[in-house]
Amino acid sequence: MSHYRRRVPAGFTDQYVAAVNHGALLAVGLALAGIQLLVRSGRDGADEALCEVIRLDHLDDRFERVIIGSGDGIFTDLADWLRSRGVEVVVVSRPNALSYRLRRTAAHVIPLDLAA
């Protein structure tokens, strides 16, 4: 998370939301103390929880920019929907883990190279 925060500085009004499966709840909760943490298990459960909260909490009405900290292609439809609502979509991902479709949908991509 410290490497992520160096690459993507946060402002006072920024909101972090993360999602994990139940097996990672304790470790992630301790590492990411102070942020909104969603829990859902099952295949793509955490990813689906993030997609739902973005839509149900109307982030498209409340924020001008949404940063997706994942390269997973499951977020492509969400990114496309956000863009259609006038929201700038930025993706932060390891270059070798970034879905081609998500890269093309995002307005901007910030590479997260953990070796740097």
Domain annotation for the chain: domains and CATH numbers: 2-111 (3.40.50.1010)
Provide the mean pLDDT of the chain.
Answer: 90
pTM of the model: 0.87
pLDDT in tens, 11-46: 888 888 889 999 999 998 888 888 889 999 999 999
Residue 34, pLDDT score: 83
Q: Are strands 65-68 and 36-39 parallel, antiparallel or unpaired?
A: unpaired
Nearest alpha-carbon partner for 109 in 3, 100, 62: 100
User: Measured between alpha carbons, how far is 46 from 19 in angstroms, rounded to an integer?
Assistant: 5
Say if residue 115's pLDDT is above 70: no
